[in-house]
Amino acid sequence: MKHLIDPTDLSVQEIDDILDLALDIIDNKEKYSEVCKGKKLATLFFEPSTRTRLSFEAAMMELGGNVLGFSSADSSSATKGESVGDTVRVVSSYADIIAMRHPKEGAPMYASMVSGVPIINAGDGGHNHPTQTLTDLLTIKREKGRLGNYTIGLCGDLKFGRTVHSLIKALVRYEGVKFVLISPNELRVPDYIITEIFEKNNIEYKEVTSLEEVMPELDILYMTRVQKERFFNEADYVRLKDTYILDKSKMKLAKPDLSVLHPLPRVNEISTSIDEDPRACYFRQALNGKYVRMALIYTMLKDNGQI
Ligand code: NCD
C-alpha cells in the first residue's frame, strides 16, 4: 500500500501526473464529481488547521465522496490516553483513506505501519507537510509556467517551518532552482537541510538575514509565519515574530513578475496592503490546495485499487 509521508515518497513523474490531473480537474470539474462516490476520507487532526483540513474535506466532497473525523486532539480519545496506533487502527476500519496531522514528528509514519488504508501526512511537527508542497508546486506551475529555472527566497521561520523543509526537498529535484534562505540566525534551516540536501546535491544556495537586500533578485518569495507553538519560550517568540514584514516599500524593490507565496495562516509577516498586488499569490495558492488534494485523493485511491 502506498502512503504519502514525505514529499519524496512521490517521484518527479508522479508529482507531474498529480499536477496535470489537478489542472484537468480545474478545467473539467463535472467529469470528476462522482469518481469517489461511496468512499470515505477520515481527517484525524491532532493539531489545529483551517486550510489543510477543510480543503481535504471539500476536495473529497467535490469528488463525490464523504468525510468523517475530528479537528483537535481534545475531541478525540487521545484525551483519554489512547495511542495514535490504536486510533489509526480503528479509524482505518471505518474509512478508505486517512489524512492525519500531529504535533509529533514521525507520527504519520508510525500510523502508516499499523493502518489498513493509505495515510496522508497533513503535517507532522516541524518536519514535513507534503500536501502543502503539492499546493506550492501547483501554484508555481500555474503562476510561472514552469517548475525549474528561477531563484526562490524562503523567508521567516526556516527552523520550525515544516512547509519550507518539505518544499526544499521537492524543489531540489528540478533543474536550475537557486535558493536564498532569509531568516534571523536563531531560525536558520536545520543543519541536515544544508548538509544532506543542498551540499550533497550541489545545489546553489545562500543564507542571508536581510530581505530588502535580496528582494531584487527573487522570482518567487515564499513567506512564512514564525511558528509560535514550536518555541520553547514566549520571550524568544516575541523578540523574533516581527523580524520580516513584507510591505509596499519592499515590494517596490522586487521584479515586476515576482510571485509571493505563503502557506497561510498569516500573522504580521505580510501587510494586508499588498493583498491586491497582482504579485500576491497566497489566496490563489490556498484554492490550488483544494484542487491538488482532489487529484491526490483520487490518485491514491485508484493506485491502491480502491476505486
Ligand atoms: C502551515 C502548517 O500547518 O504548517 N499551514 C498550512 O497547512 N497551510 C503553515 C503554518 O502553520 O504556518
In a domain, 88, yes or no: yes
132 lines ligand 1 (CB under 6 A): yes
101 counts as catalytic: yes
Q: How far is Cα 259 from Cα 254, in angstroms, rounded to an integer? A: 10
Domain contains 224: yes
How much is the mean pLDDT over the chain? Answer: 97
Please tell me whether residues 137 and 280 are part of one structural domain: yes
166 pLDDT band, cuts 50/70/90, is: very high
Bridge partner residues of 154 (DSSP): 181, 222
CATH number for the domain that contains residue 238: 3.40.50.1370
How far is the centre of ligand 1, averaged over its atoms, from the C-alpha of 265 (Å)? 6
Q: Are residues 160 and 271 in the same domain?
A: yes
Looking at the fold, whether 281 and 154 belong to one and the same domain comes out as yes
Residue 285: predicted pLDDT: 98
Asked whether residue 57 falls in the same domain as residue 199, the answer is no
Q: How many domains does the chain have?
A: 2
- Taking a C-beta distance cutoff of 8 angstroms, is the pair 176, 148 a contact? yes
Instruction: Give yes or no for residue 232 having a pLDDT over 90.
Output: no
Locate the ligand 1 atom nearest the alpha carbon of residue 225 and give its number.
12
Same domain, 49 and 152: no
Q: Is the pLDDT of residue 36 over 90?
A: yes
Residues 160 and 43 in one domain: no
42 in a structural domain = yes
- What secondary structure letter does DSSP report for 280? B
For residue 121, being part of any structural domain is answered with yes
CA 211 / ligand 1 centre spacing (Å): 21
Predicted confidence band of residue 219 (pLDDT cuts 50, 70, 90): very high
- CA gap 7, 167 in Å, rounded: 8
Predicted TM-score of the model (pTM): 0.98
The residue annotated as part of the active site, out of 8, 51, 255, 284, is 51
Active site residue 52: yes
The tens digit of pLDDT for each residue in 100-119 reads 999 999 999 999 999 999 99
Mean pLDDT confidence for 270-288: 98
Residue 20: is its pLDDT beyond 90?
Answer: yes
CA of 162 to the centre of ligand 1 (A): 8
Residues 13 and 141 occupy one common structural domain: no
Same domain, 145 and 259: yes
* All cell numbers assigned to 111: 500510523
Residue 276: count other Cβ atoms within 10 Å of its Cβ.
Answer: 7
The pLDDT of residue 75 is above 90 = no
Dig out the grid coordinates for 25 from the structure: 480537474
Peptide bond into 265 cis (omega under 30): yes
| 2 within some domain | no
Note down the domain range covering 247: 130-285
| 41, 298 Cβ separation under 8 angstroms | no
* 62 shares a domain with 41: yes
Model pLDDT, residue 127: 95
- Find the mean pLDDT for residues 142-153: 98
Average pLDDT over residues 201-211: 98
222 lies in some domain = yes
Q: Which of 52, 133, 224, 243 is catalytic?
A: 52
Same domain, 255 and 166: yes
Question: Does residue 58 lie within any of the structural domains?
Answer: yes
- Does any domain span residue 1? no
Same domain, 120 and 136: no
120 and 134 belong to one structural domain: no
